[in-house]
Chain A
Amino acid sequence: MKNSYNNLNLKKVLCITLFSFLFFQFLTSQSYSDNVKNGEVIVQKMIADAKQHAVKTIKLSPKERSLKIEILIKQFINLDFMARATTGSYWKKATNTQKEKYKSALLKQIVNTIEEHLNTLATLAYKPLKSEARGKKLVYVKGIIKDHSKKIPDVNLLWKLAKDKKGNFLVLDLEIEGVSLVSSHKAETMAILRRYKGDFKALLNTFTKSE
């Protein structure tokens, strides 16, 4: 009698465990696929906005164009993350004012780097290739810029996105033909910081001089 009671209990426990496991798997996969979809939507929106921007600002001077695209890019990137990722352990040593100044200088640098690619989108076609969830938080969205007249070779793009603290999906990094924006900015920033023994003020001065 006791044995059959134990067997029944064991079956119940096993069933509940299996069901919970499957339910958890279902929820996780659902949330991953939602993340991937959100990531794709953000990239598509950014490209559509960049195309519109390129057409609207075609008659403006390069400086005015840059200023406008700066506002556009700021909406889609996680600048706080990029600033921390490019300064490594030196970030904690900076004051709040220095952090803000660095973020705005970094934004200008990012705009300089990707502006041209975003402007070319006005005349070229962007084709999404593949999206995938990476780990618990990251989403990769791959795409290609194609010139149907074949004057310009294809450009492969990889956007890395994740939710910020407010729950908005934002771009963390962009790889253009395998060259990571964050990695190259980090190499540059760290080289300057090492040269000036971690002095953030000197880093900001170097950034200001190059503007």
Chain B
Amino acid sequence: MKQNKFVFSYLLILLFVLSSCSTNLKNSAESTDPFESLNRNIFAFNKSLDQNIVSPVSTAYVKTIPHSIRKNISNHLEWMDTPSTIVNSALQMDLENTILASAKFMLNGLSFGFYDFDNNETKIQKKDLGSTLAKLNVPEGPFLMLPLLGPKTARDFTGTLSDRQNLSNVSSNSVNKLSLVEIPVNLVDKRSKLAKNIENIYESPDPYTKMKSYYIQNRRKNVYGDTYLEDKNNKLDIEFEKLLQ
């Protein structure tokens, strides 16, 4: 059964790598969006789900749960994601991040990640399979708006699926059941943190395009770091200088 899961996850990777081949869009401002009309429908579905269910739950969560407890929950959710950062930092040959993430994971493991003993002093760069694929020059692929999961590129969606699949492969059944509880908690926690930004997106003239633009810019910054920012700014500088003439 576990063998099948592995085969499934790597078939998915292959599928998306093949589907997203050809151009590398790292430097272009926009991502390709061949499924725009379908994506817009899914965005409308996500928005209504968010406004009717997730947002009220998230508001209640913020109002009823004290900040310190929310912080502990948030710490724990981040801690649960750390193994993926450790593995992918190692795959990307980022030794410093691998060591720091491992040390932090073990230290905070003393409280199952609920308490951050380091008090966020150590800056760890989050890494997932999507960023590893990017380092291997796998193109972003088309932009996808996924039900419940929100915006992703094909490459990052493959990474997310594979990260989840690998976690369930290496962990016990009880951890798998726990992750079923954690997914909605994570959703509510993230929603509460991004509440103002999400409201701002909904109020804009074209919320779908705004969310896409925010996601693409933010994701590229996280994946490529300063190289992407420098390339993007060099291009914008030329455009700005022309407009200033």
Residues of A at the B interface (CB closer than 8 Å) are 81, 84-85, 109, 112-113, 116, 134-138, 140, 150-151, 153, 160, 162, 172-173, 177-180, 182-184, 186-188, 191-192, 206-207, 209-210
Q: How large is the interface on B (under 10, 10 to 19, 20 to 34, 35 or more residues)?
A: 20 to 34
In the complex the two chains form, what is the Cα distance from A38 to B240 in whole Å?
Answer: 19
Q: Which of A112, A162, A183, A207 has the most CB of B within 10 A?
A: A183
* Contact partners of A109 in chain B: CB under 8 A: 204-205
Cβ B244 vs Cβ A81 within 8 A: yes
The 4 closest A-B pairs by CB, nearest first: A178-B221, A187-B213, A184-B213, A191-B209
Residues of B at the A interface (CB closer than 8 Å) are 29-30, 67, 71, 119-120, 196, 200, 203-206, 209-210, 212-214, 217-218, 220-221, 228-229, 232-233, 236-237, 239-241, 243-244
Cβ B29 vs Cβ A177 within 8 A: no
Given A81-B244, A150-B119, the answer on whether A187 and B209 have CB atoms closer than 8 Å is: yes
* Contact partners of B210 in chain A: CB under 8 A: 184, 187-188
* Contact partners of A207 in chain B: CB under 8 A: 205
Given A192-B206, A210-B203, the answer on whether A138 and B240 have CB atoms closer than 8 Å is: yes
Interchain nearest-CB distance for B4 vs A (Å): 40
Instruction: Kindly report which residue of chain B lies nearest to residue A164, judged by CB atoms.
Output: B244
Checking B200, B205, B240, B243 against A188 with a beta-carbon cut-off of 8 angstroms, the contacting residue is B205
Cβ A137 vs Cβ B244 within 8 A: yes
Given A187-B30, A188-B209, the answer on whether A134 and B237 have CB atoms closer than 8 Å is: yes
In the complex the two chains form, what is the Cα distance from A2 to B110 in whole Å?
Answer: 91
In the complex the two chains form, what is the Cα distance from A122 to B205 in whole Å?
Answer: 29
* Contact partners of B203 in chain A: CB under 8 A: 112, 210
Interchain nearest-CB distance for B108 vs A (Å): 15
* Contact partners of B67 in chain A: CB under 8 A: 151
Cβ B206 vs Cβ A112 within 8 A: no
Cβ B244 vs Cβ A206 within 8 A: no
Cβ A178 vs Cβ B217 within 8 A: yes
* Contact partners of A182 in chain B: CB under 8 A: 236
18 extra interface residue pairs, beta carbon distance < 8 Å, beyond A178-B220, A180-B236? A81-B243, A85-B240, A112-B203, A116-B196, A138-B237, A153-B120, A160-B240, A177-B221, A178-B218, A178-B221, A178-B229, A180-B217, A183-B232, A187-B209, A192-B209, A207-B205, A210-B203, A210-B204
In the complex the two chains form, what is the Cα distance from A113 to B200 in whole Å?
Answer: 6
In the complex the two chains form, what is the Cα distance from A187 to B206 in whole Å?
Answer: 10
* Contact partners of B233 in chain A: CB under 8 A: 134, 140
Cβ A206 vs Cβ B120 within 8 A: no
* Contact partners of B220 in chain A: CB under 8 A: 178
* Contact partners of A191 in chain B: CB under 8 A: 206, 209
Cβ A183 vs Cβ B204 within 8 A: no
Cβ A179 vs Cβ B214 within 8 A: yes
25 A-B pairs with CB atoms under 8 Å apart are A81-B243, A85-B240, A109-B205, A112-B204, A113-B200, A138-B237, A138-B240, A138-B241, A151-B71, A153-B120, A162-B240, A173-B236, A177-B218, A177-B221, A178-B221, A178-B228, A179-B214, A180-B232, A183-B232, A184-B213, A184-B217, A187-B30, A206-B205, A207-B205, A210-B204
* Contact partners of B241 in chain A: CB under 8 A: 135-138
In the complex the two chains form, what is the Cα distance from A74 to B209 in whole Å?
Answer: 25
Checking A151, A183, A209 against B217 with a beta-carbon cut-off of 8 angstroms, the contacting residue is A183
* Contact partners of A192 in chain B: CB under 8 A: 205-206, 209
Cβ A188 vs Cβ B239 within 8 A: no
In the complex the two chains form, what is the Cα distance from A183 to B171 in whole Å?
Answer: 42
